Structures are given as structure tokens and as C-alpha cells.
Amino acid sequence: MEWKDQTAQARNWFEALRDRICSAFEEIERDAGSDAGFGYKEWDRDTDDGSHGGGGVQGLMKGKVFEKVGVNVSTVSGAFNPQFAAQINGASEDHPQFTATGISLVAHMANPHVPAVHMNTRFLTTQTAWFGGGADLNPPIPYKEDTQAFHARLRAACAAHNPTYYERFSKWADEYFYIPHRSVHRGVGGIFYDHLECEDEPAFERNLAFTRDVGEAFLDIYPQLVRGRMDTEWTREEKQRQLEWRGRYAEFNLVYDRGTLFGLKTGGNIDAILMSLPPEAVWD
């Protein structure tokens, strides 16, 4: 099955979601008395044989509430190198071709009481096609009620599609967002899913609908959490705690994160790949 039309459909959704998220985040900055806004930079990906391999748009804002937030969309195509192809669903040394489109977001907040967050959803094709992604909350200072609200919203999104999704995908997030050399989780979890196979058009429509609802759930709950904490006063000790926590976050993304590895292995834009790193961190 050819997936060109489906890739375009997924791309359109990711770009539309990007626009709505950025607008919501800029509105929060306005409410905080800031005129900060997103700046956008386009980038192109060239393949090893010199042909055009797609590209993307990197969106970045540094404001009063959002110390650094990146929202990237990209659509790329080409061929994996033989060693990396063996690690990708549906790819092989004989069939290394791929297309990938997706949205990736990481927000690092000025106030240590406001949770950082990560969200990513994507559609990939090799010899097969599938959706993946998720969202996870990363508070330097966890609040039980925030964690519960975040999970409840994702649970509702999952329940609308499959009664097993939330338990499966929240467990997957706990296992994935873990730092083995520190023996700690990166945050308080969320959901993580991959390889939702699209063997035909109905499966594509079903999995796209779920992926859309994950995006809608994120857009619904995260701005609420930000607004609930962004005016909380903090101490120097709490800011130090945030900076130390950011060091752990950076370690995970540079050592273990599959998305970082995928971007580096496929000739992605370095600035966009590393936008997940915090603006400031410490290691004691």
C-alpha cells in the first residue's frame, strides 16, 4: 500500500496542532504580562545522494513563563544506513527506505513549581506503517493533584479508543522514561506508545483518530497546569532543585532517548534535535 496521502494527512494534523499549541502558550505569556512569541526557522534535509529529503520547521519561544519551549514539526524521507535499518520496525538492509512526519514539543519552565513537559506524536512508513508517541509530565517539584489531573486526561483519551490502552501505555512510559544509571524515573509519567500498525486504510484512520485525541488531551490539560502554578513564589533552594533535576533530564535525552537517536541517524536538524535540552542546568 502507498502511504503518500496518509503521510500528508498526518502532516496536516501535526502542523495544525502545532499552531494551536503555540497560540495557547503565547496567550499564557500575554496573561503574565510578557510579549514573548514563537520564532520559526525552516530547515531542509539533504540525503546522502544529494536529493532533497524533506525538512521541517523549528519553533522556539523564550518568555516569562516558558523559559524555553520548542515545538517542532518535520516531514522527512530517505534511506536508513544498513546498521540502523535493522533497529527500525519494517526496515531492513534490503529495504531501508522510510518516511516520517511528526510533532515534537519540550517545555522548560521559569518557575520550578510549574512542571516541564514533553509531547511527541509521529507517523512512520517503511515496509509497513505505524503511529507512535505520547506525553509525559516532568515536574522538578511534583504535586500529586497535578500528576493525577494529567493522567486522568490521558486516561480519558485512551478509554475512548481501547480499554487496554491507558494501562499498557502508562506502563510503557514508566519503563521508557527511566534513567538506569541513576535508578530514577525522569518524571511522573504519562503515556508512551509505538508501532500502532496501519495495515490498511481503516487501521490508519483509527490510529490517526487516537493520535489526534492524544494531542487534544495535551492541549487541554497542560495549559491548565501551567496557569495553576505559574504565579507561585519560589525560593533559591527550589530553583536549585529545578536546575539539578534538569541535569537528569538532559542525561536521559542525550543517552537513552530514541527520538534523539533517530534524528541524529537520519540527518535531522541538530538545533531541532537538541531543542529538548534545558536552557540552564547544573550537576553537583
Q: Domain ranges for the chain, please list them.
A: 4-276
Give dist(CA 2, CA 183) in Å, integer: 43
- Which residues touch 64 (CB under 8 Å, ≥6 apart)? 29, 32, 33, 34, 36, 110
Paired with 69 in beta bridges are 61, 107
284 vs 280: CA distance, rounded Å: 14
Count other Cβ atoms within 10 Å, centred on residue 120.
Answer: 21
The answer to whether 36 touches 66, Cβ cutoff 8 Å, is yes
Supply the pLDDT for residue 79. Answer: 73
Q: What is the pLDDT, as a whole number, of residue 242?
A: 98
**pTM of structure:** 0.93
Amino acid identity for residue 208 in this structure: L
Is residue 108 annotated as part of the catalytic site, yes or no?
A: no
Q: Is the pLDDT of residue 239 over 70?
A: yes
CA distances from 230 to 65, 83, 180 (A): 7, 45, 31
Residue found by looking up cell 521559569 in the block: 110
Average pLDDT over residues 250-262: 86
Which of 49-63, 192-206, 223-237 is the least confident region? Answer: 49-63
CB 99 within 8 A of CB 125: yes
User: 97-109 and 66-79: which strand pairing?
Assistant: antiparallel
Q: Could you give the count of Cα atoms lying within 13 Å of 95 in the half-sphere of its Cβ?
A: 9
Q: At 74, is the secondary structure helix, strand, or coil?
A: strand
pLDDT band at 175 (very low <50, low <70, confident <90, very high): very high
Residue 96's φ and ψ, nearest 5 degrees, are -90, 0
Q: What is the DSSP letter of 276?
A: G
**What is the reported pLDDT for 257?**
86
> Which one of the listed residues 108, 113, 118, 151 is annotated catalytic?
118
Give the Cα separation of 170 and 154 in Å (integer): 9
Domain 4-276 top-level CATH class? alpha beta
As a whole number, mean pLDDT of residues 146-168 equals: 98
Q: What is the average pLDDT value for the chain, to the nearest integer? A: 91
Is the pLDDT at 209 greater than 90? The verdict is yes
Closest Cα partner for 119 from 41, 211, 12, 227? Answer: 211
Region 45-53 average pLDDT:
67
Beta-carbon-side half-sphere exposure of residue 32 (alpha carbons within 13 Å): 25
